[in-house]
């Protein structure tokens, strides 16, 4: 009798060729980039949503820890009026304290020409302008219509470029608004094209309240990619409903190579109720490294930065990898203590 390991039997005990029904090996990941840029927004987007205002020296300490982990692009503050965001009122002092670093780009949110004047005097290298894709959110956030906000952003961009600054753009509420609900894809495309035509080098698409799903991410990005090179796009994802990494993976598969993230998952938007929960930098980096995608960031040192952030904020942060790593450290310490 022929050995069973040499021939397989189908359900009717008919010998079948061993390769007849073998499923060809496929991957669900598609083509992934070799390397991506992580754009750290914790010191700005993270801290602006905290009730407690950190001393400038503590903010500088956090930035130092992020640099030590290998982060190269860090949004450190905002030149929004201190009346509206008092947590970031020390923008000039912070930039003086951290200085300039070779190979590291510090950026800041610059809402208008007045903010740009402050930013230039502080020696800022890169500015970021912002728009909302929702009329209601735009009115709540900056008291302007979308058309007015686009005009101001383009004016600020033009002035910043003339002053020698690079300019990045944010488009918030692209997957949904806390006041309006769903936002039309066509509107997102229209505003995106207007901002990019104004001279920004990159547009970061923001899921401000964390409602986006992978299918929505795929739909929106494919609509944009009909008009915009993928190199011009970045994703700014919130994990409010646990979909940030899934959405990031869709972006990766479509060629996006820049992702905003916040150490420990710090942050949210002060004008988007319940939207706390930026994508944690360490969660993103862990996933990317696990798929063989390089970031230039050292994960163990990123955990150290997360520990600094948690200490300064005074509460447990939401980053899942951070908490897992801290739990492992605690277990090891306990084992050493009992031996």
User: Can you name the residues that pair with 131 across neighbouring β-strands?
Assistant: 171
Q: What is the largest CA-CA distance in the chain?
A: 89
Shortest CA distance to 313 belongs to which of 265, 280, 241, 242? 265
In this structure, are residues 145 and 135 in contact, taking their beta carbons and an 8 Å threshold?
A: yes
177 a catalytic residue: no
Q: Write 187-191 long-range contacts (CB < 8 A, 24+).
A: 187/133, 188/133, 188/220, 188/223, 188/224, 189/223, 189/224, 189/227, 191/131, 191/133, 191/146, 191/150
Is the distance from CB of 172 to CB of 202 less than 8 angstroms?
no
Count CB neighbours of 246 within 10 A. 15
Task: Check 108, 183, 269, 309 and give the catalytic one.
Answer: 269
SS (H, E, C) 65-121: HHHHCCCCEEEEEECCCCCCCHHHCCHHHHHHHHCCECCEEEEEECCCHHHHHHHHH
Q: Which residues are catalytic?
A: 269
């Amino acid at each position: 009798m022929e050995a069973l390991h040499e021939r397989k039997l189908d359900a009717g005990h008919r010998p079948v060729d061993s390769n007849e029904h073998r499923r060809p090996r496929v991957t669900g990941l598609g083509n992934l980039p070799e390397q991506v840029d992580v754009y750290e927004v914790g010191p700005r987007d993270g801290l602006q949503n905290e009730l407690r205002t950190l001393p400038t020296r503590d903010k500088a300490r956090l930035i130092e820890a992020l640099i030590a982990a290998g982060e190269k692009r860090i949004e450190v503050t905002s030149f929004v009026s201190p009346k509206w965001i008092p947590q970031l009122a020390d923008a000039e002092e912070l930039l003086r304290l951290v200085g300039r670093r070779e190979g590291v780009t510090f950026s800041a949110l610059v809402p208008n020409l007045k903010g740009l004047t402050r930013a230039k005097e502080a020696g800022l290298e890169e500015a970021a302008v912002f728009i909302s894709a929702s009329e209601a959110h735009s009115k709540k956030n900056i008291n302007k219509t979308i058309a007015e906000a686009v005009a101001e952003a383009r004016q600020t961009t033009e002035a910043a470029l003339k002053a020698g600054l690079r300019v990045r753009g944010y488009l918030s509420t692209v997957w949904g608004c806390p006041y309006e609900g769903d936002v039309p894809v066509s509107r997102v495309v229209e505003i995106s094209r207007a901002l990019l035509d104004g001279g920004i080098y990159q547009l970061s698409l923001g899921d401000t309240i964390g409602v986006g799903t992978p299918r929505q991410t795929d739909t929106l990005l494919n609509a944009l990619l009909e008009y915009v090179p993928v190199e011009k796009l970045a994703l700014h994802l919130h994990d409010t409903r646990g979909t940030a990494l899934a959405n990031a993976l869709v972006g990766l598969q479509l060629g996006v190579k820049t992702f905003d993230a916040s150490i420990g998952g710090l942050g949210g938007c002060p004008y988007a109720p319940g939207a706390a929960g930026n994508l944690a930098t360490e969660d993103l980096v862990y996933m990317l490294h696990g798929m063989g995608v390089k970031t230039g960031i050292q994960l163990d040192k990123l955990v150290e930065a997360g520990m600094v952030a948690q200490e300064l904020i005074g509460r447990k942060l939401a980053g899942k990898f951070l908490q897992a790593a801290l739990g492992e450290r605690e277990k090891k310490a306990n084992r050493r203590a009992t031996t």
